[in-house]
Amino acid sequence: MILRLLALFAATALFAACTPSTNTPSEPPAVRTGAQVMISDMADDLAGRNIGLVMNPTARIYGTHVLDSLMSLGINVVALYAPEHGFRGDYGAGERISDGIDEETGLPVFSLYGETRKPSETMLEGVDLLLFDMQDVGARFYTYLSTMGLVMEAAADYDVEMWILDRPNPAGGEYVSGWMREDEHTSFVGAYPIPIAHGMTLGELAHMIVGEGWLELTNPAAQLNYRVIPMQHWDRSMLWPQTGLPWVPPSPNLPTFEHAFVYLGTCLIEGTTMSEGRGTDDPFLLIGAPDLNIPDAALQTLATRYSLTIRDTTFTPVEIPGRALRPKHQDTQVSGIYIRVQDDHFSTVNPVAFGHALLRLSLQHSPSSTTNNFLKRLAGTDRILDYLQTDVDAVYMWTAEVEAFKTLRQAYLIY
């Protein structure tokens, strides 16, 4: 017991030492994530619990995975649960994950991205507390939100307590944009009726899911015993560069914040036959098709309107193990465009509106390219097809519903 308390004190002191102790206008403190708050301030509450972790490589504190931090303190972790891309992040987008054993710890790993996406009673056997910690990107169609909701449902059904360890929304808490998902387009990339860019943290969304009655429980009388462990020093105006946190790719094809930010709009290209840049070093910043030929004037008008730098290029998608399995137009050189945010001025860009405008312009200038049903699932509505036939700004088509959502979400905001 003495050795364990000494280890706990040492870990707490280390994390405290790494956190700035002053708050001056020129050097604001780095954001303390929910995981950091839990480890440094609440580790005693974990003693004697049988804990399961729903995490991925983004569950880190100062470069150390939360799993390693917990095990170094003697916390009894008994099971790991792997979302899309895997617990260790070694699976590409869409690759099915199988149950297995974590080689570093010997703990069982249960897949939440294969035949089963919601933990079963057997998978939760012996677990009395689930810790959920994954870095979201702020998009409705990013699957970690759907995984969180399904884990919440299982925790309620099988009477397992759950903590959500909150992390920043990289695009900030004020940026809300895009269509609301309609009921007929409910899917794993559209689990809840929220806009494409929702401007909420996963902790806030957990409160909303419960408060709005969106949990689908096997036993309607079941109650979810959960808590959100909030961050410290984060406010809604912060985009990722202001958090002071290192970027850990939340998935293999979002290697930097710039990729993740532009992805909020260019992910729509996945609902077409055009390449969204998978199979290159710059997915979602590179868009292309064999016959894409956007006039320079139109391209520059688009770039100016959305405060971006866009230039013509060519690229050849190739298969990259763990990142791109059979990318579109594999091993074929395509004509494309390369997108960059000007001088890191992210606050002046509306990536969702840009993605819509780019989608429409690209389809107009690539006769061989077509859309598919996945586009409607990403957008959350059939109305995107109507938009593609017009010349109006998509923002005008969703403004009213976005404003209604902002009012609705107000009751669930933590920060």
State residue 90's pLDDT score: 55
Percentages helix, strand, coil for the chain (3-state, rounded to 5) are 35, 20, 45
- Are 229 and 133 found together in one domain? yes
* CATH code where residue 132 lies: 3.40.50.12170
Residues 95 and 199 occupy one common structural domain: yes
| Interatomic CA distance for residues 394 and 374, integer angstroms | 19
Q: Phi first, then psi: give them for residue 318, nearest 5 degrees.
A: -130, 160
Give the integer Cα–Cα distance in Å for 337 and 55: 35
Same domain, 290 and 323: yes
Are residues 190 and 129 part of one domain? yes
Instruction: Give the DSSP letter string of 296-345.
Output: HHHHHHHHHHTTEEEEEEEE----BTTTBSS-TTTT--EEEEEEEEGGG-
Cα torsion angle, 252, 257, 260, 266, sign: negative
pLDDT tens figures, 232-283: 999 999 999 999 999 999 999 999 999 999 999 999 999 999 999 999 999 9
Encode pLDDT of 346-401 as tens digits. Answer: 999 999 999 999 999 999 999 999 999 999 999 999 999 999 999 999 999 999 99
User: Domain check: are 288 and 336 in the same one?
Assistant: yes
So what's the pLDDT on residue 114?
Answer: 84
Q: What is the pLDDT of residue 94?
A: 53
Q: Are residues 101 and 160 in the same domain?
A: yes
What does the pLDDT read at residue 25? Answer: 46
Same domain, 195 and 58: yes
Quote the domain boundaries for residue 345: 257-381
Same domain for 83 and 209:
yes
What region, left, alpha or beta, does residue 76 occupy, with left being phi > 0 and alpha being psi -120 to 50 degrees?
beta
Structure confidence at residue 322 (pLDDT): 84
Per-residue pLDDT at 2 exceeds 90: no
Query: pLDDT tens for residues 81-137?
Result: 998 877 875 555 556 667 888 888 899 999 998 889 999 999 999 999 999 999 999
Same domain, 261 and 148: no
Domain boundary among 182, 217, 246: 246
DSSP string, 63-78: TEEHHHHHHHTT--EE
Altogether, the residues listed in the chain come to a count of 415
- d(C-alpha 152, C-alpha 133), whole Å: 13
What's the pLDDT score for residue 378?
A: 98
CB 314 within 8 A of CB 336: yes
**Contact in structure between 161 and 129 (CB atoms under 8 Å):** yes
Q: Domain for residue 17, yes or no? A: no
Whether 54 shows a pLDDT value over 90: the answer reads yes
Give the pLDDT score at 27.
Answer: 62
According to DSSP, the β-strands at 161-165 and 129-133 are parallel
Query: How far, in whole angstroms, is CA 341 from its chain's centroid?
Result: 20
Domain of residue 359, CATH code: 3.90.1150.140
Q: Measured between alpha carbons, how far is 163 from 156 in angstroms, rounded to an integer?
A: 12
Q: Is there a domain that residue 399 lies in? A: no
Scanning 135-180, the segments in alpha helix (DSSP H) are: 143-157
Q: Please report whether residue 409 resides in a domain.
A: no
Nearest 5°: the CA angle 14, 18, 22 is 130
Q: Domain count of the chain?
A: 2
SS3 call for 283: strand
pLDDT value of position 23? 41
Same domain, 41 and 84: yes
Predicted confidence (pLDDT) per residue in 189-208, tens digit: 999 999 999 999 999 999 99
Nearest to 97 by CA among 80, 84, 81: 84
The two three-digit tokens of residue 148, written as one number: 């969180």
pLDDT of 14 strictly over 80:
no
Mean pLDDT of 206-217: 97
**Residues 284 and 192 both lie in one domain:** no
pTM of the model: 0.91
pLDDT of residue 309: 97
Domain assignment present for 99: yes
Q: What is the mean predicted confidence (pLDDT) over 280-296?
A: 98
Starting at the edge strand found earlier in the chain, the sheet holding 108-111 runs 100-101, 108-111, 77-82, 51-55, 129-133, 161-165, 226-229
Q: 252 in a domain, yes or no?
A: no
pLDDT at 91: 52
Percentage of the chain beyond pLDDT 90 is 84
Whether 58 is in a domain gets the answer yes
For the chain, the average pLDDT equals 91
Looking at the predicted structure, is the pLDDT value of residue 145 above 60?
yes
pLDDT band at 28 (very low <50, low <70, confident <90, very high): low
Instruction: Report the alpha-carbon distance of residue 216 to residue 227 in Å, rounded.
Output: 19
Q: What is the pLDDT of residues 319-330, one digit of tens each?
A: 998 899 999 999
Task: Return the closest-CA partner of residue 284 out of 300, 248, 305, 308.
Answer: 308
* Cβ density class 21-34: b for 16+ within 10 Å, e for less: eeeeeeebebbbbb
Share of the chain above pLDDT 70, in %: 91
Which residues, including other chains, have CB under 8 Å from residue 365's CB and lie 6 or more apart?
Answer: 292, 293, 294, 295, 298
On the question of pLDDT at 12 being above 50, the answer is no
Q: Are residues 160 and 118 in the same domain?
A: yes
Both tokens of 303, joined, read 């770039």
